[in-house]
Amino acid sequence: MDYIVQQLKKLGFNEYEAKSYVSLVKQGPVTAYQVSKESGIPRARIYDVLSNLVEKGIVMKEEINDTTRYSPLPVEIFLQKAQSEWQSTYAVISESLKSLATSEEKADNRVITLKDYKTIISYCQTLLKKAEKRIVISMWDDMYEVLKDKLAEAANKVMVQGITLHVEKPIKNLEIHRTTTYTETPSTEHWFILSIDSKEMIYGPSFEERSVAFYTDDPVHIYLLEDYVWHDVLVNRLVRRSQDNLDNWITTERKAFFMGE
């Protein structure tokens, strides 16, 4: 544990913050008292430490039956966030230093983590306004409802293409995803993709699971995810045209591919 704490301190955490996060990863959702007891952080300090981590988006706070519990940002997302922030910091420092050295080399394309619901929605709305030629989306009804007015405005000046899930009356040119076992399973995460002009993109999971998304202007990311949307649209059209029961076959093949069944 001490080694992990020391490495986290290199990422900008102080010792108590690092110990708190590690303790939460080990225990799962627990009270401040349990974090204090397991980590050795004084009870007089633990609430301030956890409050700081909540503010940073590293720890989540929830009220359950009049009891306040804390849980860590999932390790995978935390690591992606840390890597993205490091890359972003590296890019900024690199650009500044090269500028001082009168270098004209362009900064690398980025993948940036967005951690807050309002921030993510604002980014999406800003991208929709910036679109000049084409918008590609893949969205479930929850995200579509939030952005539908801005999407409708954008559709008046640019082409909007892609696919929607559980959306009854999407705007023109958007495919309605067929009903499948995958779309009707409650545990299925509602990922969304929003790409403009094949230059900038935001994508992320359901806000009900975690308020995080990723912004990128990296052409490789954009190409792969736009291609993913196209394949989803294509399969949807092929199933609609086919006389065979392809959905059962697709479900079986999906399980075999992702679950090794």
Three-state DSSP class for residue 204: strand
Range with the largest mean pLDDT of 102-106, 234-238, 255-259: 234-238
Nearest to 161 by CA among 139, 129, 130: 139
pLDDT band at 219 (very low <50, low <70, confident <90, very high): very high
Q: Could you give the dihedral angle defined by the CA atoms of residues 159, 160, 161 and 163, in that order, rounded to the nearest 10 degrees?
A: -170
> Looking at residue 188, what DSSP letter applies?
-
CA dist 247 and 27 (Å) reads 41
- Identity of residue 186: P
> Looking at residue 149, what DSSP letter applies?
H
In this predicted model, what pLDDT tens digit does every residue of 174-201 receive, in sequence order?
999 988 888 888 888 899 999 999 999 9
CA dist 215 and 47 (Å) reads 32
Q: Is the pLDDT score of 125 beyond 90?
A: yes
Nearest to 171 by CA among 191, 190, 150, 193: 150
CA dist 117 and 188 (Å) reads 20
pLDDT band at 215 (very low <50, low <70, confident <90, very high): very high
Residue 209, CA atoms < 13 Å, CB-side half-sphere: 14
100-120 mean pLDDT: 72
**Predicted local distance difference test score (pLDDT) of residue 261:** 53
What predicted TM-score, i.e. pTM, was given to this entire model? 0.56
